[in-house]
Amino acid sequence: MNKQAGFSLMEVLITILLVSIGLLGYAALQMGALNSSLDSFSRSQASIILEDAAARIRNNSEYLKSDMGEANVYVGDLESKSVFQWCNIENGITPEAICDVDSSCSMSDLAKQDIYEVCSSLIATKIPTGVIGASCFDREADSDNCSYGSRMSLFLAWRGTEREDISGKDKYAQNTRCQTELDLDSDYACVQLELVP
């Protein structure tokens, strides 16, 4: 009897098929990790920018304490629980610098400069669809639309990405406070930070 030595062609083909399936699974895992990494990077950048915005607002607390019955620059001239956009990169809405180092600025102008600086930070992160804004939940029903001690909600939102070949979804969608409170479209991811200055 003749004994066969080595692999037959069929065994080699099955081995190649199994290795190929394994490599495709590994590639899909890498793409999923890349998507998660991109989302995580955007969220960490958003948190840093919002922390900077909150620090700027706290540093300008004298402006917030001076209840002059005027619209608060940080939340705009809007009704309570409305959203005021500081900048919208996708639509080209960015504020201009108000103060420079050598000039003396009013507290209101310093608040506008704060918004400019925060929006400049967003532009530097290269999040192409970024939107920054604020809303106020006023504690007093008076002529000031955001009395001192009211809860301010800062947000940074961007259009999320989803790859159909990885997740099986053809569109990124969320249903969070960003959609319910800020009235953003469902394809936006966002980070919110609340403070009581």
Q: State the Cα angle at 25 between 23 and 31, rounded to 5°.
A: 105
pLDDT at 80 over 50: no
d(CA 93, CA 86): 8
pLDDT at 54 over 90: yes
| Of the candidate ranges 6-15, 76-85, 146-155, 163-172, the one whose mean pLDDT is the lowest | 163-172
pLDDT, one tens digit per residue, over 94-129 is 888 888 766 788 888 888 889 999 999 998 987 878
Where do the domains of the chain lie?
9-195
Most confident option among 109-118, 128-137, 139-148: 109-118
Query: Strands 131-137 and 188-195: what pairing?
Result: unpaired
Global pTM value: 0.73
Across the range 121-143, mean pLDDT stands at 82
d(CA 2, CA 9): 18
